[in-house]
Amino acid sequence: MPSDSQQIQLDAKVPNNAGGMRIDAMASSLFPDYSRARLQTWIKDGVLTLDGKPCRSKDKCYGGERLSLNVVLEAAGDWVAQDIDLDVVFEDEHILVLNKPAGLVVHPGAGNHDGTLLNALLHHCPDLQLIPRAGIVHRLDKDTTGLMVVAKTLIAQNDLVAQLQARTVKREYDALALGRIIGGGTIDQPMGRHPTQRTKMAVVEHGGKEAITHYTIQRRYKHYTLVRCQLATGRTHQIRVHMAWMKHPLVGDQTYAGGRQLAAGLSLTLREALAAFPRQALHAAQLGLNHPVSGEAMHWQCERPEDFKALLALMAEEDSLAR
């Protein structure tokens, strides 16, 4: 077996009083280090057996049988480790919290086979080869900055995924939106693929997934508003799509702002600064969760990047001169 793979062999007896319980649910109880979805895959692949025989997730236990798992966890595909600087905010043997810069793609994909956060994580912590998606449990868009948490063990990964599903992970973002927003509120609009532009997401009337964004006002400028957005769900491009749906797209958002970024009556300096801002003005400023092993409530925050702060300073300066 290659040195970058890991052999997992587990065996457990089904309790005598567990008659009628689904096999996948029983496996989740007996092998809590692994998610139910992963165990279901192993049942389907025939590497998780009941009394040595293949079974189905929906089959029922009678009590007294033995569930056995014999699987090799392979290294993370063809992904390569690359020495890319990481701004690590917190790290222990279970999790890593980092401040992602603009321009860094989180996961390899079409057009981005390397040079991603995942490649950097594999260099920083080679053991992540054995964790699905190298421990990445949530993502930020390429040009969104700020805090992300990465799991360093399967136990931590399963726990963090469960926290995300239970909506107990607190994720707050600073977003600079076009126009003056009167007050805070909640956007509860389902999202799905755009009906005609398949690379985009959109608020959709039918067939979308629940998407909820809470927002409060941090500061109003003459033509723009700095808002704090808190995610209750985590859909792709959620804040960007919800703010555009509200007719207040994010500054610099080339996908959802529809070319709207410059308001009338701006100074030449601010117009040039906005034109030079190459990305959506969105920053993951705060992250809160329960430590997956100790259960301790943990919280981190990080400052906005320098280009974001400079843009806000120009807006504040222009507002002061207009008074």
Q: Which of 11, 59, 141, 143 is catalytic?
A: 141
pLDDT at 1 over 50: no
Identify whether 141 is a catalytic site residue: yes
Count, residues in the chain: 323
Neighbour-count burial of 93, counting CB atoms closer than 10 A to its CB (0-12 exposed, 13-18 middle, 19+ buried): exposed
Q: Which two tokens stand for residue 314?
A: 């120009």
Taking 80 as the threshold, does the pLDDT of residue 258 lie above it? no
260 located within any domain: yes
Same domain, 114 and 237: no
Residues 247 and 280 in one domain: yes
Same domain, yes or no: 213 and 279: yes
> Which of these three, 16, 38, 73, is where a domain ends?
73
pLDDT at 131: 86
Stretch 293-299: mean pLDDT, rounded?
Answer: 97
Residue with more model confidence, 133 or 295: 295
Query: Residue 63 is part of a domain; what is its CATH number?
Result: 3.10.290.10
289 lies in some domain: yes
Choose one of 166, 186, 205: the last residue of a domain.
166
Predicted pLDDT at 159: 93
The pLDDT tens digits for 73-106 are 655 556 889 999 999 999 999 999 999 999 999 9
- Asked if 101 and 190 sit in the same domain, the reply is no
Please report whether residue 83 resides in a domain.
no
Structural domain range at position 227: 170-322
Domain-ending residue, one of 166, 184, 214: 166
* Alpha carbon distance 259, 252 (integer Å): 9
Residue 69 forms part of a structural domain: yes
Please state the domain count of the chain.
3
Sole residue written with tokens 């808190």: 230
Question: Distance (Å, rounded) from C-alpha 125 to C-alpha 112?
Answer: 21
CATH number for the domain that contains residue 92: 3.30.2350.10
Q: Are the C-beta atoms of 134 and 121 separated by less than 8 Å?
A: yes
Residues in a beta bridge with 149: 97
The beta strand positions in the chain, using DSSP E, are: 6-13, 48-50, 66-73, 88-91, 95-100, 145-151, 170-178, 185-188, 191-193, 201-203, 212-220, 224-231, 282-290, 297-301
